[in-house]
Amino acid sequence: MSEARFADEYYTVRDGLRLHYRDYPGGSDDLPPLLCLHGLTRNARDFAHLAERYSPKHRVLVLEFRGRGDSEWDPDSARYNPLTYAGDVIELLDHLGLRQAIFVGTSLGGLVTMAVAALAPDRIAAAILNDIGPEIDQVGIDRIQTYLGLDRRFASWEEAAQAVSVSQGLSFPAYGPADWEAMARRNCRERDGEIVFDYDQAIALPFKNGGTTPTIDMWPLYSALAQKPLLVVRGEISQLLSEETFAKMQAAAPHAAFATVRGIGHAPELFEPEAIAAIDAFLGSLTDEIERTSAAASG
């Protein structure tokens, strides 16, 4: 991968927290930026490959939710929930003076995208949901519970990679040692001479109490999102987005695009061949439509 081309930027939200985002330049004023939203325990590094691939054509913004990466931790763990994150996302768009973005939401980031579709639908130009939907399989939730919020510390990257392989092995059965170390380096950071997971362990508190998983009927939110151009990506062996729910999502959004990443569980990293092909086609169709609309308006 080429040398990083992003700027590390910060903004302050309504309750005083300072949040971090990466800003990859590219695109034109006619093309909405891609706004990437990561999963529950993840951070901006998860989207490095995607951002490097698409930023020559699009501006790419990668927000780190509060309590993750270089964003400040929230002293009130009850605010670690999708509605709070949705508010932070809208504030980022306001901060940057952006009317709309193309949302790319992995797991929790997809739930936040659906929340924005309900709260401020005009801010979404289009969306990509990565292995998440309006129903979440309890098997996947139970698996996340086995490792979330465990304050584990490692003496080496090899040790961290081994721990990540144990928790994520079912989702990535073909991964080898180099893949696991690469994932560990995305998930963790060095702090005070140790390697630790790069999030506030307190995000586990609302999750374990049901605060991060949907407690309302999410189908109306999905229906609102499906009014926009939409691509849904699923890992073939995902334990969070079941094949049954994926089929129901297709039936509920017949004009949306759907793709399956073979041999991968939760969640595809979006640099797999099937994911790249689907995203290329989806963004290409959006760009073509925007360019046709712009040409018609100016001609």
- Cβ(8)–Cβ(20) under 8 Å? yes
Q: What is the DSSP letter of 68?
A: B
CATH number of the domain where residue 74 is located: 3.40.50.1820
298 confidence band (pLDDT: 50, 70, 90): low
207 — pLDDT class (breaks 50, 70, 90): confident
- pLDDT value, residue 146: 82
Q: Is residue 74 part of a domain?
A: yes
Burial class (CB in 10 A: 0-12, 13-18, 19+), 90: middle
Query: Per-residue pLDDT tens for 86-97?
Result: 999 999 999 999
Q: The whole model's pTM is what?
A: 0.95
Placement of tokens 């930027």 in the chain = 9
Instruction: Give pLDDT, residue 24.
Output: 97
Domain membership of residue 20 as a residue range = 7-137+213-298
Q: In whole angstroms, what is the distance from residue 181 CA to residue 172 CA?
A: 13
The angle formed by the CA atoms of residues 133, 136 and 139, to the nearest 5 degrees, is: 145
CB of 121 within 8 A of CB of 88?
no
Indicate whether 195 belongs to any domain. Answer: no
pLDDT tops 50 at residue 212: no
In a domain, 197, yes or no: no
Q: Is residue 206 part of a domain?
A: no
**Model confidence band, residue 2 (pLDDT cutoffs 50, 70, 90):** very low
pLDDT tens profile 95-130 = 999 999 999 999 999 999 999 999 999 999 999 999
Number of domains in the chain: 1
- Rounded Cα–Cα distance for residues 186 and 164 (Å): 11
Is 157 within the bounds of a domain?
A: no
So what's the pLDDT on residue 30? 85
Taking residues 231-254, report their average pLDDT. Answer: 98
